[in-house]
A and B are shown apart, each in its own frame.
Chain A
Amino acid sequence: MTRYTLWSATKKAALYLLLCTVTVAVCFPLIWALSTSLKPKSEIFATPPTLIPHSTTFENYEALLSGRQQYYQTGEKSQAAGPTPAQFFTRWFVNSVIVTSGSTLISIVVSTLAAYSLTRFRYWGRNMIPYFSLLGYMVPSIIFVFPLFLMMVRLELTDNLLSLVFGYVCITLPFCMWLMWAFMRSIPIEIEEAALIDGASRYQVFANVVLPTAMPGIIAASIFSMIVSWNDYLFGRVFINSLDNLTLTVGVMLFFEGTHVDWGLLMAASVLMTVPMAVLFMALQRHLVAGFGAGAVKG
């Protein structure tokens, strides 16, 4: 082996070692959560801890999905404790799905139309608006929370899922619009002109030519919007105060409350909460990279 190949092999090995360490560091909490969620209660605090459960159980998942929380103590004491977080898990899950899809839908429709207008029509300020909107995204969302809360009070939307939908639109729309604007700019105007000459109306040009061409950008913006809305804690905490209307992020925190923390249940909830975004991300990541790439080059 020559000196050069030895050096290059060492470099490669060091690189792989580094990548493996980072991967383990990133994935370990998730793997631990999955492992804990599948352990029976007796094994959760076993010493030494086990990464792979000796005996696997789905009782935590069953409890969450059926709404029946199992307690260490049974009888009157547990009855007196009132409603348990597990009872609300499916409800919170549905709430999260509703606010995430609602806010994403609004953000995408508005940002796509706005980006099309900004890139295709001539009017004052059309070059400034995308940058100002990006500036809006740079402001920490906690600054928006209280003015928005006051607005929701006036609109009588507090403790209503609509308040979250509008709140999330406020934080996702600026970036979605900037992303779509950068993407739309990269779509050559000639293909629209070709469609106009072919006989298409403005609407047909938009629906048949622009939208399909902009699809990678739309997918990228949608994933961004969904991740932000799904993972938000702040707005859910401030705008909602009834158990029925909580979203998953805030609801899962309630598993901590009280004198006892059911770690198995909490971990199962965390895993279930991660699954939708992970699946979505894996299914669409190819488009996400293409979308951000196109925006970056032309923007």
Chain B
Amino acid sequence: MDVRLQRINKSFGAVPVLKDVDLVFPSRKFVTLLGPSGCGKTTLLRMIAGLEDISAGSIYFGDREVNRLAPRDRNIAMVFQSYALYPQMTVRKNLGYGLRVRKTPATEVDSAVERVARILEIDHLLDRKPGQLSGGQRQRVALGRAMVRKPDIFLMDEPLSNLDAKLRVTMRGELRRFHLDLNATTVYVTHDQLEAMTMSDLIAVMHKGVVQQFGTPEEVYSKPANLFVAGFIGSPPMNFLEGKIDSGRFRISEAALPLPPLTRGIAPGLDVVIGVRPQNLSFVTSAGPNALAGIVSLVELLGSEKLIEVQIADRKRISVQVRADSQIHLGQNVHVEFDTSSVHVFDKLTEQSVLEAMR
């Protein structure tokens, strides 16, 4: 079932939290609401769940407007950040509660609970209480409780944030598999861009209550709509340099770097910010038209790669990602070359991508 959000607005008192959110989540897709703390992503999820009133706008599940529908009538399931298991009930009762309150016959409840418990490999924990489970086990019970009812829409509010790093990686894959098994539309909230990139079919990047960009992970990564998205997506983060456009080139201090052909139509003298990912920079032995001179100020070993921080003119710093075996030393004089085709250009004033506007 697809989910449509039409001009959704939300304010708490006089403070606006969501502004004119317009989104369509296609049926059976894994959609992630991604953004920093306080961007309104959880509020939006809670509005879809019916736990939060809508100040203005409409939410549709398929063709049905659900603004005034109670959570119980929306056929949704939700996994909370804190798991929100019923502490006094056993795992079996936790899993079956949703079916029991809907007056499902006891035999059906039992078989559904056991089926889900087997899938999630928690069948040996059915008679324990939540307090006797580890974080990972609780997380599985919370998932199981959501799965047992076969919901149309599956909502998840940062379900992995309380797990340790290793378990989180395992659960990412499992969540993706559960989504495929469930055949439901999944709306997932996270502030972790890695989770969003690895699990989602579509990502809505949010900031200050506004959807900054909505697209596939590839789109938000390779064609960021604005400075915020460019800076938020990608690890290590994108390098930004401020300068001016001058006859198809980007002028920064003494250097004039060539820009992608598309940028030739930009008005000369426009103040811009260019963005280049550390992966799209490399070291060259001699100065060239595409290269900036600088001194290595920091070397960080990331495992299979090294992150090199280079101080260029005007005390600006840029990061370059190279292979771990590269022989780059602290204090070394280097020349950093730009891969022109992967340079992003943003209007300094509006912060919007100039390239995307011209495409």
Which residues of A are interface residues toward B (Cβ below 8 A)? 188, 190-191, 193-201, 204, 208-209, 212-213, 215
Pairwise interchain contact A193-B72, C-beta atoms closer than 8 A: no
Could you tell me which residues of chain B, from 52 to 87, have a CB within 8 Å of some CB in chain A? 70-72, 74, 76-78, 80-82, 84-87
B51 CB within 8 Å of chain A = yes
Contact B84 A200 (CB under 8 A): no
Name B80's contact: one of A190, A204, A209, A215 (CB within 8 Å): A190
Interchain CB contact under 8 A, A194 and B78: yes
> For the complex, what is the distance from the CA of A200 to the CA of B84, rounded to whole Å?
15
Q: Are B88 and A213 closer than 8 Å at their CB atoms?
A: yes
Chain A positions within 8 Å of B102 at CB level: 199
Known: A208-B101, A212-B88. 12 other contacts (CB 8 A): A188-B84, A191-B84, A194-B80, A194-B85, A197-B50, A197-B71, A197-B76, A198-B97, A198-B149, A201-B101, A204-B101, A208-B97
Give the residue among A195, A198, A204 with the most B Cβ atoms within 10 A: A198
**CB closest chain-B residue, reference A196:** B71
Report if B36 contacts A (CB, 8 A).
no
> Sorted from nearest, which 8 A-B pairs have the closest CB atoms?
A198-B98, A190-B84, A194-B84, A212-B88, A199-B72, A196-B71, A197-B71, A190-B80
B49 contacts A by Cβ under 8 Å? yes
Among B76, B82, B89, which residue has its beta carbon within 8 angstroms of that of A190?
B82
B145 at the A/B interface (Cβ < 8 Å)? Answer: yes
Q: Is the CB of B82 within 8 A of A188?
A: yes
CA distance A227 to B77 in the complex (A): 45
B88: nearest residue on chain A (CB-CB)? A212
User: Given known contacts A194-B84, A195-B86, A212-B88, is B78 in contact with A200 (CB within 8 Å)?
Assistant: no
Which B residues lie within 8 Å of A196 (CB)? 50-51, 70-72
Q: Which residue of B lies closest to A209 (CB)?
A: B86
CB distance from A197 to the nearest CB of B (A): 5
Could you tell me the distance in whole angstroms from the C-beta of A233 to the nearest C-beta in chain B?
A: 38
Residue of B whose beta carbon sits closest to that of A187:
B87
Complex A-B: 8 CB contacts under 8 Å? A197-B72, A197-B78, A198-B72, A198-B145, A200-B97, A209-B86, A213-B86, A215-B88
Alpha-carbon gap, A276 to B302, bound state (A): 69
A194 and B145 contacting across the interface, CB-CB below 8 Å: yes
Chain A residues with Cβ below 8 Å from B77 are: 197
Judge whether B97 and A193 touch: CB under 8 Å: no
Instruction: Give residues 244-267 of B contacting A (CB, 8 Å).
Output: none
Which residue of chain A has the shortest Cβ distance to B151 in the bound complex? Answer: A197
Once the chains bind, are A191 and B101 in contact (CB under 8 Å)? no
Complex Cα–Cα for A32 and B77 (A): 63
Measured between alpha carbons, how far is A18 from B88 in the docked complex, in Å?
40
Cβ-defined partner of A191 (8 Å) among B71, B81, B86: B86
**Which residues of A have CB within 8 Å of B49?**
193, 197
Q: Which partner residue on chain A sits nearest B104 by CB separation?
A: A199
In the complex, the chain B residue whose C-beta lies closest to that of A191 is B84
B72 with A191: CB separation less than 8 A: no
CB-CB under 8 A from B87, the residues of chain A are 191, 213
Shortest beta-carbon distance, B342 to chain A, in Å?
43
Residue on A nearest B89 in the bound complex, by CB = A212
From A190, A200, A212, A215, contact of B72 by CB (8 A): A200
- Distance (Å) between the CB of B113 and the closest chain A CB? 13
Q: How far is the CA of A188 from the CA of B82 in the complex (A)?
A: 9
A209-B130 Cα distance, complex, nearest whole Å: 14
> A212 to B101, alpha carbons, bound, how many Å?
16
Bound complex: CA A198 to CA B85 (Å) = 11
Contacts of A200 in B (CB 8 A): 72, 97, 101
Residues on the B chain within 8 Å of A201, using CB:
72, 101
B101, A193: Cβ atoms closer than 8 Å = no
User: A201 vs B89: C-alpha distance in the bound complex, in angstroms?
Assistant: 18
Contacts A190-B82, A213-B87 given: A195-B76 contact, CB under 8 Å?
A: no
Please indicate the chain B residues that have their CB under 8 angstroms from the CB of A191 in the complex.
84-87
CB-CB nearest in chain B for A211: B88
Closest chain A residue, CB of each to CB of B93: A208
Chain A residue contacts of B85, Cβ below 8 A: 191, 194
In this complex, the member of B72, B74, B78, B87 whose beta carbon has the largest number of chain A beta carbons within 10 angstroms is B72
* B80 adjacent to A195 (CB under 8 Å): no
A151 to chain B, nearest CB (A): 40
CA of A187 to CA of B49, assembled, Å: 21
B101, A198: Cβ atoms under 8 Å? yes
